[in-house]
Amino acid sequence: MAKEALELWQGLPPDTRRMLLSNVWCGECRKAVTIVDYHAELKGVVVLQGFCGTCGHKVARVIDDLAPKKPKQGKK
Ligand SMILES: [Zn+2]
């Protein structure tokens, strides 16, 4: 588990985390499901990787804008 990613994730408000965890797209169920047994990875931004709570298929949730602090780049 990437420690930095986990710390960023845990820095989010509990309500936000709950909302994100229960709104993960599963390609098998073809609907938004709850992610279980997840871990956080850092791929530029934080990515949660785990499994669909309904069917067990592998799912991932990219947490947009959740990245280590660094000088802001101008938005295009
Ligand atoms: Zn599923």
Q: What is the pLDDT of residue 2?
A: 82
The domains of the chain are located at: 3-63
45-70 confidence digits (pLDDT tens): 999 999 999 999 999 999 998 998 76
23-42 confidence digits (pLDDT tens): 999 999 999 999 999 999 99
Q: Has residue 11 got a pLDDT over 90?
A: yes
* Residues with CB in 5 Å of ion ligand 1: 26, 28-29, 52, 54-55, 57
CA of 72 to the centre of ligand 1 (A): 36
**Residues in Cβ contact with 40 at an 8 Å cutoff, skipping those fewer than 6 apart:** 1, 2, 5, 6, 8, 9, 46, 47, 48, 49
Class of domain 3-63: mainly beta
pTM over 0.85: no
